[in-house]
Amino acid sequence: MDKIIIRGGRKLRGSVAISGSKNAALPIMAASLLGDTPAYITNVPCVTDIRTMADILAALGAKVDFPSPHEVVIDPSGLCNPTAPYELVRKMRASICVLGPLLGAIGRARISLPGGCAIGARPIDLHIKGMKQLGAATRLSHGFVVADGTGMRGAEVFLGGRFGSSVLATANVLMAAVKARGVTRIEGAACEPEIVDLTHFLCAMGARIDGIGSHTLRVEGVRKLRGARHKLIPDRIEAGTYMIAAAITKSELLLKGARADHLRAVIEKIEEAGVGIFESSGAIRVNGKGKRRVVDVTTHPYPGFPTDLQAQMIALMTISPGISVITEKVFAERFMHVPELNRMAASIFLEGSSAIIRGVKSLSGAPVMASDLRASAALILAGLVARGETVVDRVYHIDRGYENIEEKLRGLGAEIERVR
């Protein structure tokens, strides 16, 4: 099992290229099953979740090729198997997004209940509810979601949940609806940039979707879809992570390819913390050399502050003078990184769904263990400024969503290496 070793105290400088969005790529790859010709997707991040999705699509009968590390061609003509197996689906929760395309393409699906990061309960009840409202017959059997979509037709679907709109449920229902007879109206739809990117891909395939970017989507079902060419949007969570890397190390970085319009809530909070953010065409420049200030943050679905940057923001607040409160409103149990940061001499207390952080003068390098994808990033950020050596174990989590993070950071001047 790999480990990442960081020797803290180095300033960062230079530019870093932001990879394509992993969270956009996964449902778009699944949506390619709906076409009758190959789909060609570019700007694909080289992360393990992409390979897992490719393996799932291949298990279903599609042909998946990678002409280069950042391109994928998916030919759905061989699609015949409705079963997404447990040994693949258990690796990531986003595997559930093949449910809608399978029902739209071949009218049936049998998908193992998904796995993924250990960040608390993430039920799929909204996915099941949406499919039932479209007329699919669904049941749970021996750990599998079994669905028959031969009678699906357009319907009124409401996807508002306890913690707001669900991105994956929106993607699933949308992908099922594009080939359902009649008109579907999805209320309470997620409006994240990744959902907008999916709708653009589906429209390029021949789907008819109105209300793109809003909480209400109107979908007019079509009989056939074709493969399409599509370039993925940049990964806003990776961009936000490198923004915080510049802030925590008091460095200046240029984030090439980052889109500020996808990061308004993040930029606002990072600027409030004393960091300069400057937008330019196709890039964001971050000047972290100013005086730190504490900020209070509450995570919300888009366009609010993203839950996927909560851990990284806590890392920044650990060395910001004063007391800050970060409240998690999307995944209430997503604080497994807190004990590990406290091992590095942070001062963080949990109270319900909030982390109360008392800033310290410095962190101390320590052996720590990553519990999930974004916790891994937070521990690496903390290691960049900690005194001495930090060893992050279980870094297979970070490989799920960050492309070559140690190479990118080393290119910026960090003293970081991966060991086996």
Residues marked active site are found at 117
Phi, psi values for residue 107, rounded to 5°: 80, 5
Measured CA to CA, the distance from residue 52 to residue 325 in angstroms comes to 36
**Residue 244 in tokens:** 């915080």
Judge contact between 324 and 357, C-beta under 8 A.
yes
Per DSSP (E only), the strands in 69-165 are 71-75, 83-84, 108-112, 137-141, 144-148, 156-158, 160-161, 164-165
- In degrees, rounded to 5, the angle at the alpha carbon of residue 245 between the alpha carbons of residues 244 and 249 is 110
- Three-state DSSP at 390 gives strand
Measured CA to CA, the distance from residue 223 to residue 11 in angstroms comes to 56
Residue 313's Cβ-side half-sphere holds a number of Cα atoms within 13 Å equal to 34
Measured CA to CA, the distance from residue 38 to residue 258 in angstroms comes to 29
Contacts 24+ apart (CB under 8 A), 356-359: 356/323, 356/324, 356/325, 357/294, 357/314, 357/317, 357/318, 357/320, 357/323, 357/324, 357/325, 357/326, 358/322, 358/323, 359/292, 359/294, 359/317, 359/318, 359/319, 359/320, 359/321, 359/322, 359/323, 359/324
Instruction: Compute and round to an integer the Cα radius of gyration of the chain.
Output: 21
Judge contact between 217 and 186, C-beta under 8 A.
yes
Judge contact between 232 and 43, C-beta under 8 A.
yes
**Residue 172 in tokens:** 């699933």
Eight-class DSSP state of 33: G
